[in-house]
Amino acid sequence: MSLTTGEDRKSDGPDQPSRPAGAAQREGKPFWRRPWIIPLWLVTAAFLYLQAGPFVGTPEAEAQIPAHDGFPAYYPLLITHISLGTVAMVTCCLQVWPWMRRRHPAVHRAMGRIYVPATLISGVCGLIIIPFAPVVGQIGAFMSTTLWIITTLVGFWAVRTGRYVLHRRFMLYSFALVMNNVWGLTMAKIIIGFGIKIDFTYLGEAARWIGWVVDLMLVQWFLYRTAKQPVEGPARRRAGA
State how far the Cα of 172 lies from the Cα of 216, in Å rounded to an integer: 9
Report pLDDT digits (tens) over 75-85.
899 999 999 99
Query: Which DSSP state fits 72?
Result: T
State how far the Cα of 45 lies from the Cα of 54, in Å rounded to an integer: 14
Residue extents of the structural domains in the chain: 70-229
**pLDDT on residue 234:** 58
Q: List the one residue out of 180, 175, 182 whose CA is nearest residue 223.
A: 175
Spans of the chain below 50 pLDDT: 1-11, 13-27, 236-241
Give the DSSP letter string of 85-109: HHHHHHHHHHHT-HHHHHH-HHHHH
**pLDDT on residue 174:** 95
Longest dimension (CA), the chain: 62
Structure pTM? 0.77
Report pLDDT digits (tens) over 195-220.
777 777 887 788 889 889 999 999 99
